[in-house]
Chains A and B, each alone.
Chain A
């Protein structure tokens, strides 16, 4: 059941990400919904599950982006997901601050990694200033998108019984 929820979350994130318009003033950056889904699995599940999510999400991003070589997004998602997974036991996954912080940091990291890989192969012609703008924009989008995707995925998981949501007095759990 967990993988069905994962597939639903990833496919809907991919469709929204590819269809939603972007801001020209923000370097034509797309909302990093797929990355947010990967971060959710990195912070709430074990490493193998995160890797499966990162692989699928990266594959979706690669196939839905013209000119993008296969595997580039997969590699960057796996790398960022693996790094974020190291903090799994130190943070509260359900907290807004956690998702927003990791959404921003993850977005910046993926943008930089992808830029390095693409520019090394000569596929993007982009001055550093514009890359910085893109990274900043992805970071800002990550702050907005990650909490939404986290809440959506958590709700789905709790509805189908993958996780047990506990209520506490301070509302953090």
Chain B
């Protein structure tokens, strides 16, 4: 390449850099979305390969504990069967009470199953995961994401075939919470990376904590209390388990409590997660009885949204 050609190339790259850094947000998001969609198939394959290798390594490490695991699982199955019998009775009682009160069956949200194909992006500055579903699978920004154990975060930056999830352990995440036992509310925020994960890979062990702030001081919070989403704010449906209290103390302002929480969901072992689709669920459900519909329309002029527990 001639000297002039090289100079042109240098100028072109620098110009492109300036343009790139000053792109309007919608254009920038479109560029990111298109690029990520093109990467998605390769990322899926690569993620599968890495996961399989991780599985093999874990299997080799865990051979000694197989017998113990089997024994534990047997005991757990027995406990769960007993629990199911109890819950069946409670469900029947619940149905009867609902019918008597004239409430519609609420809370059957549609759950969209997704696979985690990446963690922390390419730079690791934020606590995020990338899922292999996107707009094509009715995923939208600001939808709650859960595992069978509880809440893990919410969606953002949704492309056609992928979406990112901001985990509740990220300091940028804020979730309105409620302490089930005492009914107090607060705001759960992430604390970033917890180094107590030790010398193992983050996807295998680390368990970062989250903190609830602005919890009223007069409510007695004790270790082991359950924390769930309050439903305020409209992003997270009410009643999703967030975690359990490990410690509570008065904060620096001496007006509120600060509560440490261990998330119910194991953030280090995310493989399959569920996006809570509150919009579709309402269309699929039977219409509520006339009395309830009138009441909600009178109050809001529209249907109530995002306030039902996940089924």
A-to-B contact residues, CB < 8 Å: 11, 14-25, 27-30, 34, 46-48, 51-52, 54-55, 59-75, 78, 114, 118, 123-126, 130, 133-134
List, sorted by A's number, 8 A–B pairs whose CB atoms are closer than 8 Å.
A19-B46, A21-B204, A24-B200, A24-B206, A25-B197, A64-B35, A67-B166, A124-B126
Cβ of B197: which chain A residues have Cβ within 8 Å of it? Answer: 24-25
Answer whether A28 and B202 are a contact pair too, CB < 8 Å, given A14-B122, A17-B122, A18-B118: yes
Answer whether A19 and B20 are a contact pair too, CB < 8 Å, given A24-B194, A51-B13, A63-B35: no
Task: Please report the C-alpha to C-alpha distance between residue A146 and residue B179 in the assembled complex, in whole angstroms.
Answer: 49
B-to-A contact residues, CB < 8 Å: 1, 6, 9-10, 13-14, 16-17, 20-23, 28, 31-32, 35-36, 39, 42-43, 46-47, 50, 54, 117-128, 130, 156-157, 164, 166, 171-172, 192-195, 197-206, 208, 268
The answer to whether A124 and B10 have CB atoms under 8 Å apart is no
Chain B nearest CB, measured from A35 CB (Å): 10
Given A24-B198, A63-B39, 16 other A-B residues pairs in contact with their CB atoms under 8 A: A19-B43, A19-B47, A21-B203, A21-B204, A24-B193, A27-B124, A28-B193, A47-B6, A64-B35, A65-B121, A66-B156, A69-B28, A71-B20, A71-B23, A75-B17, A130-B192
Which of A28, A64, A72 is packed against the most chain B CB atoms within 10 Å? Answer: A28
Task: Please report the C-alpha to C-alpha distance between residue A86 and residue B124 in the assembled complex, in whole angstroms.
Answer: 29
Task: Please report the C-alpha to C-alpha distance between residue A75 and residue B166 in the assembled complex, in whole angstroms.
Answer: 25
The answer to whether B36 and A63 have CB atoms under 8 Å apart is yes
Cβ of B208: which chain A residues have Cβ within 8 Å of it? Answer: 24
Query: Chain B residue with minimal CB distance to A29?
Result: B124
Cβ of B6: which chain A residues have Cβ within 8 Å of it? Answer: 46-48
Cβ of B23: which chain A residues have Cβ within 8 Å of it? Answer: 70-71
Instruction: List the 8 closest A-B pairs by CB distance, nearest first.
Output: A65-B121, A71-B21, A24-B206, A24-B197, A66-B164, A125-B171, A63-B35, A64-B122
Chain A interface, DSSP helix/strand/loop, else mixed: helix
The answer to whether B125 and A114 have CB atoms under 8 Å apart is yes
Chain B nearest CB, measured from A125 CB (Å): 4
Cβ of A51: which chain B residues have Cβ within 8 Å of it? Answer: 9-10, 13-14
Chain B interface, DSSP helix/strand/loop, else mixed: mixed
Which residue from B36, B54, B125 sits with its C-beta under 8 Å from A124?
B125
Task: Please report the C-alpha to C-alpha distance between residue A56 and residue B118 in the assembled complex, in whole angstroms.
Answer: 20
Task: Please report the C-alpha to C-alpha distance between residue A28 and residue B20 in the assembled complex, in whole angstroms.
Answer: 27
Which of A23, A55, A134 is packed against the most chain B CB atoms within 10 Å? Answer: A23
Cβ of B205: which chain A residues have Cβ within 8 Å of it? Answer: 24
Cβ of A60: which chain B residues have Cβ within 8 Å of it? Answer: 35, 122
Cβ of A67: which chain B residues have Cβ within 8 Å of it? Answer: 121, 125-126, 128, 156-157, 164, 166, 172
Chain A nearest CB, measured from B230 CB (Å): 23
Task: Please report the C-alpha to C-alpha distance between residue A24 and residue B171 in the assembled complex, in whole angstroms.
Answer: 15
Chain B nearest CB, measured from A113 CB (Å): 12
Chain B nearest CB, measured from A18 CB (Å): 5
The answer to whether A65 and B127 have CB atoms under 8 Å apart is no
Answer whether A30 and B43 are a contact pair too, CB < 8 Å, given A51-B9, A70-B32: no
Chain B nearest CB, measured from A2 CB (Å): 11
The answer to whether A125 and B172 have CB atoms under 8 Å apart is yes
The answer to whether A30 and B122 have CB atoms under 8 Å apart is yes
Answer whether A23 and B13 are a contact pair too, CB < 8 Å, given A14-B122, A28-B124, A68-B123: no
Chain B nearest CB, measured from A76 CB (Å): 10
Task: Please report the C-alpha to C-alpha distance between residue A78 and residue B201 in the assembled complex, in whole angstroms.
Answer: 31
Answer whether A28 and B122 are a contact pair too, CB < 8 Å, given A48-B9, A130-B192: no
The answer to whether A16 and B206 have CB atoms under 8 Å apart is no
Query: Chain B residue with minimal CB distance to A15?
Result: B46
Query: Chain B residue with minimal CB distance to A34?
Result: B122
The answer to whether A63 and B31 have CB atoms under 8 Å apart is yes
Which residue from B17, B164, B195, B203 sits with its C-beta under 8 Å from A71?
B17
The answer to whether A66 and B130 have CB atoms under 8 Å apart is yes
Chain B nearest CB, measured from A67 CB (Å): 5
The answer to whether B157 and A66 have CB atoms under 8 Å apart is yes
Query: Chain A residue with minimal CB distance to B208?
Result: A24
Answer whether A75 and B126 are a contact pair too, CB < 8 Å, given A66-B157, A70-B28: no
The answer to whether B50 and A21 have CB atoms under 8 Å apart is yes
Chain A nearest CB, measured from B58 CB (Å): 12
The answer to whether B20 and A64 have CB atoms under 8 Å apart is no
Task: Please report the C-alpha to C-alpha distance between residue A15 and residue B204 in the assembled complex, in whole angstroms.
Answer: 20
